[in-house]
């Protein structure tokens, strides 16, 4: 699976401005007295954008990453606590349906050690509601990870149909 840094997988140009700013913030992670540099965060090119269906009307929603921020702190056990806020852009076509509906955005993550060995992975989701007549949403999904020093995080959106 081809891995691309968040700052590079913007072939659709969704990430250029917002993500560049977010990555600068990530590189300068801050926290309490245990300030540390954040580990790299990457995503497979195929996982930067997915199409998912709403719960009730089965309407297609275009879901994309829309920036990422992180705060990183050193832990007593030698790991780095990474608190990520991942911006999403959710778009639906109001010509198909204008009704209120809920959409679940499935995500997955992997934590790799300094030798690129997967030490943990997780599948989780983020739910958001569209009000009647709303075509676009910009929610922020929050997630926490424990990463070994020298490790990295891989995040991906995944389709639900």
Q: How distant is the alpha carbon of residue 148 from its chain centre? A: 20
Quote the pLDDT of residue 15: 33
Q: 3-state class of 113 per DSSP? A: coil
Quote the pLDDT of residue 118: 97
pLDDT by position in tens, the chain (length 161)? 333 333 323 333 333 323 333 433 344 444 345 779 999 998 888 889 999 999 999 999 999 999 889 999 999 999 999 999 999 999 999 999 999 999 999 999 999 999 999 999 999 999 999 999 999 999 999 999 999 999 999 999 997 65
* Helix and strand counts by DSSP (H, E) for the chain: 1, 10
For 2, the token pair is 């081809």
Q: 3-state class of 17 per DSSP? A: helix
Quote the pLDDT of residue 35: 74
Max distance between CA atoms of the chain, in angstroms, equals 54
User: From CA 75, how far away is CA 82, in angstroms rounded?
Assistant: 10
């Amino acid at each position: 699976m081809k891995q691309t840094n968040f700052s590079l997988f913007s072939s659709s140009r969704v990430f250029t401005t917002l993500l560049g700013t977010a990555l600068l913030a990530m590189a300068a992670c801050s926290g309490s007295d245990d300030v540390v540099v954040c580990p790299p965060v990457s995503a497979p090119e195929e996982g930067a954008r997915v199409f998912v269906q709403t719960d009730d009307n089965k309407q297609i929603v275009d879901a994309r990453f829309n920036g990422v921020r992180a705060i990183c702190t050193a832990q007593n056990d030698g790991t780095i606590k990474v608190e990520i806020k991942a911006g999403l852009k959710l778009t639906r076509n109001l010509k198909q349906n204008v009704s209120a509906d809920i959409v679940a955005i499935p995500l997955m993550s992997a934590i790799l050690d300094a030798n690129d060995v997967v030490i943990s992975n997780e599948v989780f989701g983020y739910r958001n509601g569209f009000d009647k007549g709303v075509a676009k949403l910009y929610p922020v999904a929050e997630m926490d990870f424990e990463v070994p020093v020298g490790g990295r995080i891989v995040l991906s959106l995944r389709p639900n149909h």
